[in-house]
């Protein structure tokens, strides 16, 4: 039975090709389509009707044969129709490749910074920026770094010739002081920007880097508010499942202080060879704490009435942790082969 | 801070495995930077913070462990076996200024034989990173690593006049230090001196001459508490940093000097194999260390942290940390232990409570605080628009350092006074940038030299300068383009950047902020004189644009011979000029257009033509545009053919054809006469 059908299909194929070759007009082409593909009387339908007579075991093979013939006829007809149309129009091939038009990108750091800003802006924070050449007072003294305190050693500072009271800010925290001196609470800001420390460039250090600083001061603000806020940020930025870990830390301008880790967004601590967390399950990403009462007093805010929290994160660190940039220096090489991958 | 785990467990009997111990320590703020093995023993290199000098010893870490785990007790070494019961005659300690030295305790021990320390002491010191020297020096190091108190031991025979004197150095004095360096001294330096000369830099390093040698027989042991700032300034002035200065500049416990002396006596007694009785002892401690009394409301720990912290739990934690509490009803009067020089205010106490209770108990809660006015920085929005516009046009953003070499500053502004770093990383990074252009050119060269055909960049960053004492800092936007505008493919020809394209991009950037940028020919050291423009908005300068000067290109080591086009804007000026949008009704009357094709001498720049048009324009002339530029066979060699379209329209009515013709003809005649144009 199947062999018989096969033979008949082969005959139909030859007949179709012969007729197709002799088609002269669109009308003839339409008639040919009708003859083979008409749902009721077309050759393909007739073959399909014959399937009913097939023994069940042969049905699948026979069905496949008929389908293959149907596809062959459809494709041949479509090609012939297309050829008829294009023969009368100028040549064009819409499948030719698209031109590679140039596309520019934001620097990865600028892009990350903007996304961090956007999240905090949605949480109602104002974005406040300050100068990179900063007064010693704002960078250190008013932030509760006493003049001759070893805490200053941790932030190796660039100083300026002829300006003993000025320096390149070692963090974006002086913006806290500037803002608090200028605005009474409640206040809620993030302050992004460049900061500088006298470190020779290596894989994890740069004399110039970027931070985003946050500050919130109001009545009744407590340490848990800091955690809630950072949780909201980290879940938005790193993924809804990340968990935060607070560890005791030390910053002269916060008390209590905390280093903040997030659970590894890649392996969640389940992969001991994880390339992101190196198997520890945690990523150190933030420094934070409750604003030190002395800093509030220095900024003419009464710590008996108000409390607040502050936090800061390094953008380069985010680039390395979240995007796998292996060496911090790459971010300042400005090689288009890197810049083109982000932003 | 290196901690030998086995030695540590002598002072706190905890049975934790190393991993669990490290976790416990990390939970209370002591991260292990590195775990080392030394001769079969585990040594933890623990990161400490500058506010906690008490952590810089095995005692300090043991105390913390005992505070965290209430089942454990801190058990310091029993020093009751050593006695300081000795005469205070025959020798003398003088402290000239108690502000420099809060306490100075010292004793003399006679009749020693310098020998090696017992093997277990040597092994312990090696594990902590010390080189064993002899039992006397080793004893002082071991005391410091055990309880934190730095000691200094003098060879008594080298001391003259039967006294030690704690005093400031006098200008002109000098001292040969233990490391055999000679240092010149002045009033900044605090000394231990004898009756005649300096012996040691107090709290920093001993002198070579009075140090312990193989023949030392009698010793004077110093156990003192120096002022942190004095030690810090003195050590900084000489570029020195020692184990002792590191501790003193963080603030030491004045109450610790006597137990440390006793501990040293016990260590020495062991190595000498006999009980040691001092021949002299004196304790110069004019004003006992003041300890703050901190008032802590019982509910304050919970209020500041948002943690559930019952008063009893807070009190128990403070008690375990050695704080003395006096219950005064609603609050406690809290006195920190003498070694906690960092504890000054109630927030410090809360951190202690929260830290020991465990930060893991901290709940997360969203604050409801809101800004009364949410100020939105319009400039930031404008900058984002510019960034997007530039990226869409195929420019890539770069970020460079803010400092560069003095030569680079000269490239962009040879006259301005540069702002120079006092302590740069090197000459190449020694001045604050006065322009972003040299950096952009270097980026261009680095990329072009990689064979990248299209290098279009921009940077937003601050530039600096100074006027007298005033430091200038402003934000700039710099843009550059070098190489191919468009990669060649089956459809598009390879086309190099030219200034017309670049200028169009700048004009587009201006239009993004609804600004009409005007380009006035000018001179600027960074640009080639033949293609250099001051960019203006409403006749106010806001930047420069042009083809980059050959000198700057050479300086940036740009090998390729393609020109570089660049611009630099003062961002604040650009943003300030951007107008607010406001509805303007548009003209509903029909416009009439007249074209004009003419020859003009090549010496006449389009800018001059434009100026003349502006000056002569009839009232009904609404706008004009250049539609074609032609140089060919029909055009004389010294001339160029331009075609322009002029659009006429009145505000209030429809102009008749005759009115338009009359206005146009008169205008063109005057224009032609003024600039010598020849109608074609």
**A293 within 8 A of A252, measured Cβ to Cβ:** no
Q: Does 3.30.70.380 match the CATH number of domain B592-679?
A: yes
Answer yes or no: do A63 and A114 share one domain: no
Is a pLDDT exceeding 80 seen at residue A343?
A: yes
Answer yes or no: do A28 and A112 share one domain: no
Answer yes or no: do A74 and A197 share one domain: no
| pLDDT, tens digit (0-9, with 9 covering 90-100), for B212-268 | 999 999 999 999 999 999 999 999 989 999 999 999 999 999 999 999 999 999 999
Q: In terms of pLDDT, which residue wins out, A20 or B338?
A: B338
Would residue A216 count as lying in a domain?
Answer: yes
| pLDDT, tens digit (0-9, with 9 covering 90-100), for B189-200 | 999 999 999 999
- 3-state SS record for B335-393: ECCCCCCCCCCHHHHHHHHHHHHCHHHCCCCCCCCCCCCCCCCHHHHHHHHHHHHHHHC
Would residue A266 count as lying in a domain?
Answer: yes
Q: What pLDDT is attached to residue B405? A: 95
Answer yes or no: do A281 and A145 share one domain: yes
Answer yes or no: do A244 and A155 share one domain: yes
Of B652, B597, B586, residue with least CA distance to B619 = B652
Extract the runs of DSSP E, i.e. beta strands, from chain A.
126-127, 133-135, 159-160, 163-168, 187-196, 208-218, 244-248, 254-263, 282-291, 307-314
Would residue A101 count as lying in a domain?
Answer: no
A222 reaches B (C-beta below 8 A): yes
Q: In terms of pLDDT, which residue wins out, B336 or A272?
A: B336
| CATH number of the structural domain B378-577 | 3.30.930.10
Is a pLDDT exceeding 70 seen at residue A12?
A: yes
Residue where the block lists tokens 């310091």: B76
Answer yes or no: do A113 and A232 share one domain: yes
Q: What pLDDT is attached to residue A280? A: 83
Task: Give the dihedral sign, CA B2/B5/B10/B12.
Answer: positive
Based on the structure, what is the number of domains in chain A?
2
Considering only the beta carbons, identify the residue of A110, A207, A224 that sits closest to B305: A224
Lowest mean pLDDT among A2-6, A232-236, B74-78, B301-305: A2-6
Q: pLDDT averaged over chain B?
A: 94
**Domain membership of residue A190 as a residue range:** 108-339
Would residue A220 count as lying in a domain?
Answer: yes
Percent of chain A, pLDDT > 90?
56
Q: Tell me the mean pLDDT in the region B496-513.
A: 94
Q: pLDDT averaged over chain A?
A: 90
Is a pLDDT exceeding 80 seen at residue B553?
A: yes
Question: Which of B100, B359, B400, B571 best tests the A interface by mutation, with the highest count of A CBs <10 A?
Answer: B359
| pLDDT, tens digit (0-9, with 9 covering 90-100), for A302-316 | 999 999 999 999 999
CATH class of B294-360: alpha beta
Is a pLDDT exceeding 80 seen at residue A89?
A: no
**Quick check: B391 and A343 CB within 8 A?**
yes
Answer yes or no: do A58 and A193 share one domain: no
Q: What pLDDT is attached to residue A21? A: 86
A343 reaches B (C-beta below 8 A): yes
Tokens of B162: 């039967």
| pLDDT, tens digit (0-9, with 9 covering 90-100), for B506-536 | 999 999 999 999 999 999 999 999 999 999 9
Question: Domain residues of chain B, as ranges?
Answer: 2-68, 92-284, 294-360, 378-577, 592-679
Answer yes or no: do A217 and A315 share one domain: yes
Residue of B nearest to A306 (CA): B304
**Quick check: B228 and A124 CB within 8 A?**
no
**B351 within 8 A of A248, measured Cβ to Cβ:** yes
Is a pLDDT exceeding 70 seen at residue A107?
A: yes
Would residue A176 count as lying in a domain?
Answer: yes
Confidence of residue A276 (pLDDT cuts 50, 70, 90): confident
Confidence of residue A51 (pLDDT cuts 50, 70, 90): confident
Task: Give the dihedral sign, CA B94/B100/B106/B111.
Answer: negative
Answer yes or no: do A82 and A128 share one domain: no
| DSSP class of B294 | E
| pLDDT, tens digit (0-9, with 9 covering 90-100), for B607-652 | 899 999 999 999 999 999 999 999 888 889 899 999 999 999 998 9
**B176 within 8 A of B184, measured Cβ to Cβ:** no
Tokens of B444: 């261009």
Considering only the beta carbons, identify the residue of A133, A150, A216 that sits closest to B367: A216
Confidence of residue A49 (pLDDT cuts 50, 70, 90): confident
Residue B628 forms beta bridges with which residues?
B643
Choosing from A54, A87, A120, the residue where a domain stops is: A87
Q: Tell me the mean pLDDT in the region A220-240.
A: 95
> Quick one: fold of B2-68?
Phenylalanyl-tRNA Synthetase; Chain B, domain 1 (3.30.56)
Would residue A95 count as lying in a domain?
Answer: no
Measured in whole angstroms, the distance separating CA B446 from the mean position of its chain's CA atoms is: 27
Burial of B103: CB neighbours in 10 Å, binned 0-12, 13-18, 19+? buried
Would residue A100 count as lying in a domain?
Answer: no
Rounded CA separation B477/B459 (Å): 6
Angle, CA of A146, A151 and A153, to the nearest 5°: 115
Residue A287 forms beta bridges with which residues?
A259, A312
Would residue A203 count as lying in a domain?
Answer: yes
Answer yes or no: do A61 and A149 share one domain: no
Taking phi over 0 as left and psi of -120 to 50 as alpha, with beta for the rest, B656 belongs to beta
Chain A contacts of B296, Cβ < 8 Å? none
Q: How far is the alpha carbon of A158 from chain B, nearest alpha carbon, in Å?
A: 6
Percent of chain B, pLDDT > 70?
100
Answer yes or no: do A188 and A82 share one domain: no
Chain A contacts of B232, Cβ < 8 Å? 148, 150
Answer yes or no: do A214 and A311 share one domain: yes
User: At the fourth CATH level, which superfamily is domain B92-284?
Assistant: Phenylalanyl-trna Synthetase, Chain B, domain 3 (3.50.40.10)
| CATH number assigned to the domain comprising residue A185 | 3.30.930.10
């Amino acid at each position: 039975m199947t062999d018989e059908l096969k033979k008949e299909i082969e005959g139909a194929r030859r007949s179709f090709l012969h007729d197709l070759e002799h088609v002269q007009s669109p009308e003839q082409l339409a008639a040919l389509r009708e003859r083979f593909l008409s749902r009721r009387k077309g050759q393909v339908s007739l073959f399909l009707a014959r399937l009913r007579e097939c023994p069940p075991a042969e049905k699948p093979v026979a069905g496949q044969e008929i389908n293959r013939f149907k596809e062959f006829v459809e494709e041949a007809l479509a090609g012939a129709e297309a050829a008829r149309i294009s023969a009368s129009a100028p040549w064009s091939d819409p499948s030719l490749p698209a031109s590679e038009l140039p596309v520019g990108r934001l620097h990865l750091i600028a892009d990350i910074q903007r996304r961090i800003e956007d999240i905090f802006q949605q949480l109602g924070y104002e974005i406040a920026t300050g100068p990179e050449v900063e007064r010693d007072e704002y960078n250190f003294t008013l932030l509760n770094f006493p003049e001759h305190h070893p805490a200053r050693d941790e932030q190796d500072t660039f100083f300026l010739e002829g300006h003993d009271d000025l320096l390149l800010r070692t963090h974006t925290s002086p913006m806290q002081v500037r803002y608090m001196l200028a605005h009474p609470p409640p206040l809620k800001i993030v302050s992004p920007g460049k900061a500088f420390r006298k470190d020779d460039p290596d894989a994890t250090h740069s004399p110039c880097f970027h931070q985003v600083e946050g500050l919130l001061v109001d009545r009744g603000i407590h340490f848990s508010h800091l955690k809630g806020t950072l949780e909201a940020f980290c879940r938005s930025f790193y993924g809804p499942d990340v968990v935060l870990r607070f560890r005791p830390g030390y910053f002269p301008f916060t008390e209590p202080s905390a280093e903040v880790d997030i659970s590894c967004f890649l392996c969640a601590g389940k992969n001991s060879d994880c390339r992101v967390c190196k198997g520890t399950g945690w990523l150190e990403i933030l420094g934070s704490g409750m604003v030190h009462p002395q800093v509030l007093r220095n900024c003419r805010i009464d710590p008996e009435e108000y409390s607040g929290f502050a936090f800061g994160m390094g953008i380069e660190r985010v680039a390395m942790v979240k995007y796998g940039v292996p060496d911090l220096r790459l971010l300042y090489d400005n090689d288009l082969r890197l810049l083109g991958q982000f932003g | 801070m290196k901690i030998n785990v086995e030695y540590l467990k002598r002072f706190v009997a905890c049975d934790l495995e190393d991993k669990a111990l490290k976790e416990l320590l990390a939970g209370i703020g002591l991260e292990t930077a590195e775990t080392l093995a030394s001769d079969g023993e585990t040594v933890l290199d623990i990161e400490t913070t500058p506010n906690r000098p008490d952590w810089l010893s095995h005692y300090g870490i043991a105390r913390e462990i005992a505070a965290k785990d209430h089942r454990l007790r801190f058990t310091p070494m029993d020093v009751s076996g050593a006695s300081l019961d000795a005469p205070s005659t025959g020798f003398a300690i003088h402290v000239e200024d108690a502000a420099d030295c809060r306490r100075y305790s010292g004793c003399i021990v006679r009749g020693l034989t310098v020998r090696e320390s017992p093997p277990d002491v040597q092994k312990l010191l090696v594990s902590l990173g010390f080189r064993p020297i002899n039992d006397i020096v080793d004893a002082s190091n071991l005391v410091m690593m055990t309880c934190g108190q730095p000691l200094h031991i003098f060879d008594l025979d080298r001391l003259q006049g039967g006294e030690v004197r704690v005093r400031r150095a006098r200008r002109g004095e000098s001292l040969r230090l233990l490391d055999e360096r000679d240092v010149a001294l002045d009033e900044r330096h605090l000394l231990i001196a004898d009756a005649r000369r300096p012996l040691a830099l107090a709290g920093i390093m001993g002198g070579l001459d009075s140090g312990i040698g193989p023949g030392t027989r009698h010793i004077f042991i110093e156990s003192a508490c120096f002022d942190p700032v004095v030690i810090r300034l003195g050590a900084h002035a000489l570029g020195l940093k020692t184990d002792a200065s590191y501790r003193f500049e963080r603030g030491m416990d004045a109450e610790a000097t006597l137990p440390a002396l006793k501990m040293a006596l016990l260590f020495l007694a062991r190595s000498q194999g006999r009980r040691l009785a001092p021949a002299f002892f004196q304790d110069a401690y004019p004003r006992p260390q003041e300890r703050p009394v901190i008032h802590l409301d019982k509910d304050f720990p919970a209020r500041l942290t948002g943690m559930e912290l019952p008063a009893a739990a807070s009190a128990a934690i403070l008690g375990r940390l050695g704080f003395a509490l006096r219950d005064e009803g609603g609050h406690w009067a809290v006195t920190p232990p003498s070694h906690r020089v960092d504890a000054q205010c109630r927030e410090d106490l809360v951190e202690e409570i929260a830290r020991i209770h465990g930060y893991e108990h901290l709940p997360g809660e969203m604050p409801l605080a809101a800004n009364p006015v949410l100020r939105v920085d319009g400039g930031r929005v404008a900058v984002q628009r510019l960034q997007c516009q530039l990226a869409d046009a195929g420019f890539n953003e770069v970020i460079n350092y803010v400092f560069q070499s003095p030569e680079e500053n000269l490239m962009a502004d040879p006259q301005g006074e540069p702002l120079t770093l006092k302590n740069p990383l090197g000459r190449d990074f020694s001045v604050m940038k006065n322009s972003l252009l040299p950096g952009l050119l270097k980026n261009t060269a680095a990329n072009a030299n990689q064979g990248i055909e299209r290098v279009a960049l921009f940077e937003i960053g601050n530039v600096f300068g100074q006027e007298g004492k005033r430091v200038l800092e402003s934000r700039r936007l710099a843009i550059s383009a070098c190489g191919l505008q468009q990669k060649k493919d089956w459809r598009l020809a390879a086309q190099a950047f030219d200034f017309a394209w670049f200028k169009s991009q700048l004009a587009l950037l201006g239009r993004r902020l609804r600004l009409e940028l005007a380009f006035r020919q000018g001179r600027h050291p960074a640009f080639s004189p033949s293609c250099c423009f001051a960019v203006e908005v409403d006749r106010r300068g806001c930047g420069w644009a042009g083809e980059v000067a050959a000198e700057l290109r050479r300086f940036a080591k740009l090998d390729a011979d393609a020109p570089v086009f660049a611009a630099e804007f003062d961002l604040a000026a650009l943003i300030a000029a951007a107008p607010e949008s406001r509805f303007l009704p548009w003209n509903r009357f029909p416009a009439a257009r007249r074209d004009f094709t003419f020859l003009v001498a090549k010496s006449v720049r389009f800018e001059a033509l434009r100026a003349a048009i502006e000056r002569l324009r009839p009232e009904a002339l609404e706008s004009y545009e250049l539609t074609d530029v032609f140089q060919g066979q029909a055009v004389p060699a010294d001339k160029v053919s331009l075609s322009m379209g002029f659009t006429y329209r009145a505000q209030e009515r429809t102009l008749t054809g005759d009115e338009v013709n009359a206005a146009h003809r008169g205008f063109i005649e005057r224009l032609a006469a003024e600039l010598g144009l020849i109608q074609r």
